[in-house]
């Protein structure tokens, strides 16, 4: 499979310039040392947790650079006929109280639980 030539550090640096955010300011928003920002900006790749935090700090969706179409992913896979099957998906998400309040999830969860009883 072809590798991606995405240098996320350069992209983050470009967005920082566009938004007029200094390394010191980004470090403050992420609660890290400015040296950590220098290191991050020199990287070709970044872990998803850090990318999410940087996206929040800069109010920018960096994940869009990693979106691949099914055609790009499965270009070397033989075509097959797929049956439709039902599946149950259980997802566990860890959210802090601020996230719950922003999404109004406490009220929604209480409403769902009350309707089940």
Supply the pLDDT for residue 27: 96
Supply the pLDDT for residue 48: 84
Question: Helix crossing, 23-30 with 48-58: angle to 10°?
Answer: 110
- pTM of structure: 0.52
Supply the pLDDT for residue 14: 92
CA 3 to chain centre: 20
**CB distance 18 to 59 below 8 Å:** no
Mean pLDDT of 44-67: 85
**CB distance 51 to 79 below 8 Å:** no
How would DSSP label each residue in 20-36?
T--HHHHHHHHTS-HHH
For the chain, domains (ranges, CATH) are 8-73 (1.10.260.40)
pLDDT digits (tens, 9 = 90+) for 5-36: 668 888 899 999 999 999 999 999 999 999 99
Looking at per-residue pLDDT, the higher value among 3 and 32 belongs to 32
Supply the pLDDT for residue 30: 95
pLDDT digits (tens, 9 = 90+) for 29-49: 999 999 999 999 988 888 888
Average model confidence (pLDDT) across the chain: 79
């Amino acid at each position: 499979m072809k590798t991606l030539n995405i240098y996320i550090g350069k992209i983050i640096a470009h967005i920082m310039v566009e938004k007029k955010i200094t390394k010191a300011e980004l470090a403050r928003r992420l609660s890290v040392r400015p040296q950590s920002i220098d290191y991050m900006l020199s990287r070709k790749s970044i872990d998803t947790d850090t990318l999410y935090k940087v996206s929040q700090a800069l109010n920018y969706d960096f994940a869009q650079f990693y979106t691949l179409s099914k055609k790009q992913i499965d270009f070397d896979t033989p075509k097959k006929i797929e049956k439709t099957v039902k599946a149950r998906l259980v997802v566990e998400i860890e959210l802090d109280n601020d996230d719950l309040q922003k999404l109004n999830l406490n009220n929604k969860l209480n409403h769902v639980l009350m309707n089940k009883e």
